[in-house]
Amino acid sequence: MGATLLDMAQTFPQIAFSELAFPRPDRESLADIYGAIAAQLDAGERRDALAAFDAARRHYESWASLVHLQFSRDTTNEAAKAERDYCDTLGPVATGHEVEIKRRLLDDPDREGLVALLGTHVVALWEADITTFDPRIAADLEEEARLSAEYTALLASAKIEIDGEVVNLSGLAPYAQNADRDVRHRAEQARWGFFEANGATLDDLFGKLVTLRQRMAETLGFETYTELGYRRMRRTDYGPEQVAAFREKIVTHVTPLVRSLLEHRRLSMGWDRLRAWDEALIDPKGNPKPAGGHDLLLERAQQMFDAMGGDLGIFFETMHEGGYLDLLNRAGKAGGGFCTSFPDVGMPFIFANFNGTHNDIGVFTHEMGHAYQNWKSRDQRCIDELWPTMEAAEIHSMGLEFLTWPEIDKLVEEGAADRYRKMHLIDSLAFLPYGACVDHFQHEVYDDPEMSPAARHETWKRLEKIYMPWRDWGDLAYPASGTRWQAQMHVYRSPFYYIDYTLALCCAMQLWLGSRNDPQGTMETYAALCAAGGSKAFTALVEDAGLISPFEPDALAEVVHEAEQELMGS
Ligand code: ZN
C-alpha cells in the first residue's frame, strides 16, 4: 500500500469491504508521522517527503471515510456515532498538519521542481488549501462538523406516519410521487409537518453554522464566507461572477421551458392548478417504476453494464462481489445517496436508500458514475488527483445517468423505457432552476450573515418566485413561508456545493447529445474523462473531453434547445 506519488506501478490489494480495517490515528501518531515528514524536508529529501506525505493522507482518508460511512449506515449505533465524533475532533488536527507541510513545500524557492513533481493543478489546489486553514479555526471546524452531524441525525430520526405506515424521509418518496393526487398531498403534508415541528431547531442550527462560517472567514482574513467557501470547494478557475451569470442563463432559458412543460402537464391532467405536490408526478401515467426490488436490479445492472462495453461490467462485478454497495433503505440509516472511497485499496463504495421509485435507478446510475470515475483514476499519482472538484465529478455521475439510456429498459418496469427516458429528461431540466435557487439563496445568506431567520425565509420566498414562478404550495403553509431549503442537506453540510450539479448537468447533457450520434466514441470520451480524475481543473477537464464550458455564452441555451426538440418530438 505504498504511495503512488513517485511510484506509478502501484498495485492495490483485492479485499472485500467486510475485511476493511485501517489503523486508527490519534494526535500522537499524527504528530509522529508529520514530524518524520518535516525531518525529511529538513534533510532536503523532498521527493521522499512527498511520497510519505501522500501515503499519510491516503491512510488517514481511508480510515475517515470508513468511519463516516459506518455512521451513515446506522446513525443509531452509539459506537459508530462515538467513532464519528472522534474522527470529527481529529479532523482539524490532521488538516493542521497537512497544511503545515503544504506551506513548507510551497515556500520552497524551487517552485519549478515542485511543479515537476506534482503538476500545476495540484500546486494550485494547495495554494487554495493553505488559505482555508489556520489552527485558530480548528475549534470552529470541529463545531461545524458536529452541527452538520446533528442535522443528518435529526433528518434520519424522522418517523413519519402515512396511511398506517411509519416511514423515514426516503421512504416517503413512493407516496410523494404516487399517481393518486390525494396520496401525494398527504405525503407532502406529512413531510412538511416534520419540518414544521423541527423548524425552530433547523433555523437555529443553520444560524449557528452561518455565524461560525462567517467567524472562520474573518479569522482567515476574508470579508465574508463566500470567498472562503469557494476556496474550500477548491475552485481555482472561476468565481461568483461567472456562477451568477450562469444562474441568469437558467432563469432566461430553462425557467420558461419548465413552466410550459408543467402547464402542459396541468392541461393534460385536467387540474385547475398545478400544486407543489403535483410536480413529482412527472409522467401523467404514473412515474415508471424500477423493474423490481434490490436483488433484481443488481442482477439487471450487471447485464446492463456488460452490454455497455468497455470495463463497466467488470467494475460493477468487482463492486458487487466485494460488498462495496449498500443500497437498501432501512430504519436509522442516513438519508440520500453518496459515493465514498478508500484510497488505500483503490475502491469506492456506494450508499443509497432504494425505495421502489424511479429514484432508485437515478441514484444508482448516478453514484455508479462517481464510483467508476474514482476507480478509473485510482492510479493518478497523488491523492489530490483521485477526485476532481465536485462540478467535474458530477459530470461523471450525471453523464452515466444519460449514457445508460440505450440499456435502461433492463432496469425499468416492462415497456416503460421510453417513458422513463422522457421523465429523466424533464426531471433534469426541472432540476436546473431549483439548483440555481439553492445556490443564489446561499450567496445572499453569506453576503449578509446577520440576517434573521425570518429574513432568510423571505429571501427564499423571493428567489423561489424568480426561479420557480409556478410553485404553488396550496394549503402547505410551512414551505409556503419560505422554508423549502431546510430539507436540502447541502445547505447545511456543503455550502456552495449545489451549483455544481447544474454546471455538471450542462456538460452531462452534451454527453447525452454526443452519444446519440456516436455512442461508441462518446463512451470512450466518458471513460477518458473518468480516468483523468482530478488531474486538472473543471474547465480544463471539460475542454479535454471536447465539451463546451457552461461558462461559455451559449452552452446552456444549446443543450436546452436540443432537449426541448427531443421533448416536442416525442
Ligand atoms: Zn453526485
Distance from the alpha carbon of residue 489 to the mean position of ligand 1, in angstroms: 13
Contacts of 43 (CB under 8 A, 6+ apart): none
Complete DSSP assignment for 200-231: HHHHHHHHHHHHHHHHHHHHTT-SSHHHHHHH
Alpha-carbon gap, residue 158 to 173, rounded angstroms: 14
Distance from the alpha carbon of residue 371 to the mean position of ligand 1, in angstroms: 10
Alpha-carbon gap, residue 357 to 427, rounded angstroms: 14
The neighbouring-strand residues paired with 166 are: 161
Alpha-carbon gap, residue 346 to 558, rounded angstroms: 38
Quick: pLDDT tens for 298-312. 999 999 999 998 999
Per-residue confidence at 8, pLDDT binned at 50, 70, 90? very low
Distance from the alpha carbon of residue 397 to the mean position of ligand 1, in angstroms: 6
Alpha-carbon gap, residue 402 to 410, rounded angstroms: 14
Distance from the alpha carbon of residue 150 to the mean position of ligand 1, in angstroms: 22
Q: Which three cell numbers stand for residue 15?
A: 479485499
Query: What are the residues whose beta carbon lies below 5 Å from ligand 1 (ion)?
Result: 394, 397
Q: What pTM did the predictor assign?
A: 0.94
Quick: pLDDT tens for 514-570. 999 999 999 999 999 999 999 999 999 999 999 999 999 999 999 999 999 999 875
Distance from the alpha carbon of residue 336 to the mean position of ligand 1, in angstroms: 11
Distance from the alpha carbon of residue 197 to the mean position of ligand 1, in angstroms: 30
Q: How confident is the prediction for the chain on average, in pLDDT?
A: 95
413 backbone φψ class: left, alpha, beta (φ>0; ψ -120 to 50): beta
Distance from the alpha carbon of residue 200 to the mean position of ligand 1, in angstroms: 29
184 pLDDT exceeds 70? yes
Quick: pLDDT tens for 397-455. 999 999 999 999 999 999 999 999 999 999 999 999 999 999 999 999 999 999 999 99
Alpha-carbon gap, residue 464 to 437, rounded angstroms: 7
Instruction: Give a yes or no: residue 131 inside a domain.
Output: yes
Looking at residue 473, its amino acid is: W
Distance from the alpha carbon of residue 289 to the mean position of ligand 1, in angstroms: 21
Distance from the alpha carbon of residue 366 to the mean position of ligand 1, in angstroms: 6
Distance from the alpha carbon of residue 435 to the mean position of ligand 1, in angstroms: 13
Distance from the alpha carbon of residue 503 to the mean position of ligand 1, in angstroms: 12
Distance from the alpha carbon of residue 27 to the mean position of ligand 1, in angstroms: 32
What is the tally of helices (H) and strands (E) in the chain? 24, 5
Instruction: Give a yes or no: residue 83 inside a domain.
Output: yes
Q: Which three cell numbers stand for residue 74?
A: 446506522
Distance from the alpha carbon of residue 398 to the mean position of ligand 1, in angstroms: 7
Instruction: Give a yes or no: residue 204 inside a domain.
Output: no
Distance from the alpha carbon of residue 359 to the mean position of ligand 1, in angstroms: 13
Instruction: Give a yes or no: residue 94 inside a domain.
Output: yes
Distance from the alpha carbon of residue 394 to the mean position of ligand 1, in angstroms: 5
Quick: pLDDT tens for 201-217. 999 999 999 999 999 99
Instruction: Give a yes or no: residue 246 inside a domain.
Output: no
Distance from the alpha carbon of residue 75 to the mean position of ligand 1, in angstroms: 21
What's the confidence (pLDDT) of residue 2? Answer: 38
What's the confidence (pLDDT) of residue 212? Answer: 97
Distance from the alpha carbon of residue 135 to the mean position of ligand 1, in angstroms: 31
Quick: pLDDT tens for 51-65. 999 999 999 999 999
What's the confidence (pLDDT) of residue 330? Answer: 86
Distance from the alpha carbon of residue 60 to the mean position of ligand 1, in angstroms: 23
Distance from the alpha carbon of residue 338 to the mean position of ligand 1, in angstroms: 7
Alpha-carbon gap, residue 457 to 462, rounded angstroms: 9
Instruction: Give a yes or no: residue 263 inside a domain.
Output: no
Pick from 121, 84, 516: nearest CA to 334: 84
CB atoms within 10 A of CB 531: 16
What's the confidence (pLDDT) of residue 569? Answer: 74
Quick: pLDDT tens for 11-38. 787 899 999 999 999 999 999 999 999 9
Instruction: Give a yes or no: residue 284 inside a domain.
Output: no
Looking at residue 285, its amino acid is: K
Question: Considering its fold, how many domains does the chain have in total?
Answer: 1
Distance from the alpha carbon of residue 306 to the mean position of ligand 1, in angstroms: 23
What's the confidence (pLDDT) of residue 115? Answer: 95
Instruction: Give a yes or no: residue 114 inside a domain.
Output: yes
Domain that holds residue 129: 17-139
Percent share of the chain, pLDDT over 90: 92
Per-residue confidence at 9, pLDDT binned at 50, 70, 90? very low
Quick: pLDDT tens for 237-278. 999 999 999 999 999 999 999 999 999 999 999 999 999 999
Distance from the alpha carbon of residue 474 to the mean position of ligand 1, in angstroms: 31
Percent share of the chain, pLDDT over 70: 98
Per-residue confidence at 10, pLDDT binned at 50, 70, 90? low
Quick: pLDDT tens for 522-538. 999 999 999 999 999 99
Per-residue confidence at 170, pLDDT binned at 50, 70, 90? confident
Pick from 422, 83, 486: nearest CA to 265: 422
Distance from the alpha carbon of residue 516 to the mean position of ligand 1, in angstroms: 23
Distance from the alpha carbon of residue 367 to the mean position of ligand 1, in angstroms: 6
